[in-house]
Structure 1
Amino acid sequence: MTDLANCPRCHGLFMKGTASVCPNCVKQEERDFQVVYTFLRKKQNRTANMQEIVEGAGVEEVRIRSFVKSKRLHPAQFPQLTYDCEKCGAQIREGRLCEGCRQEIERGVQKHEEIEQLQERNRQDDVGRVTYYSVKQDKG
C-alpha cells in the first residue's frame, strides 16, 4: 500500500512506494550517478580522491559516498573511493563497520557469551542442591 509522504530531499509530496524519495529526486540521483561514473571511467580519473571527484563531476560528496555504500561504484575499480563506518565515521571501503569497531563488537559478544556460560554452569551446580527450611511452631 502506498502512503503520501514528503520527500526527504526536496520536501515535495509524493506517493511513497518502493522508493523513499520522489520520482524527480530519483531521476536527479540517476543523473548524478551517470556524471560521476562517466568522470571516473576516464583513465586519468580512476585514481582521483574524493575532493577531485566532487570538483570534477560537480556532485555532492554525500551523494558519491552513498553510491559507493550502495555498491553502485566499486572501490576495487576506483581505489580512492571510501565511505563512513556506521559506528565511528572512519573511512572504509567495504562492509558497514571499520576493522576496529568490528573487533570491539566481537570482543563484546565474546565477553557476553562467556558470562552466559558461567551463569549456566552456576545454575547447573545448583540443580542438585535442595535446601529445606523448617518452621518452629509455638504450641500455645
Structure 2
Amino acid sequence: MRVMNSFFVKSVLGTVSMFFALGLSAASVQDNMSREAIAERIEPIGENYVAGESAAAEESSSGPRSGEQVYNTYCTACHTSGVMGAPKKGNAADWKPRLDQGMETVLKHAMEGFNAMPPMGTCSDCSKEEIQAAIDYMIKGT
C-alpha cells in the first residue's frame, strides 16, 4: 500500500511542480479548457481553394463571363505563345485555316478538344456561350 501511495504522491507532486515551472495555475488550465477556448484553438486557419472554383461561383451568379475574362483565366497560357500549335490571339495566319472550316467546327473543336487542346481548354465550368465569346475575343482583329 505504501508503494502505491508513494507513486500517487510522486505523480501529484510532479504535476504540481510542472504547473509552477510552466507558470500555470489551475485556473489558467481550466480557462483553456472552456468551450470557447477549445473552439478558438481548433478554428480553421484558412480555406481550401481549387483553381477556378471560387471565381466561377462568383461569376456564375453575375451572369456569363466575357470572352476576355475566359481568355485571361483559361486560354492565355497556350494561345498567347502558341504552345503546341495553338493559334495565337489576334494572329490572322494562325486562325485562317481554322476559320476556313467554319465557326461551327472551331467551336466544336474548342468544346470537345482537338489535337493537344483538352475539351473546353482548361475551363471545365464554361458554357458554350462563354467558349464562343473567348474564340470571338481571340480572333478579334484577324
Instruction: Tell me the TM-score range normalised by the shorter chain.
Output: under 0.3
Bigger radius of gyration:
2
TM-score normalised according to structure 1 size = 0.23
Bigger helix fraction: 2
Q: Higher strand share goes to which structure?
A: 1
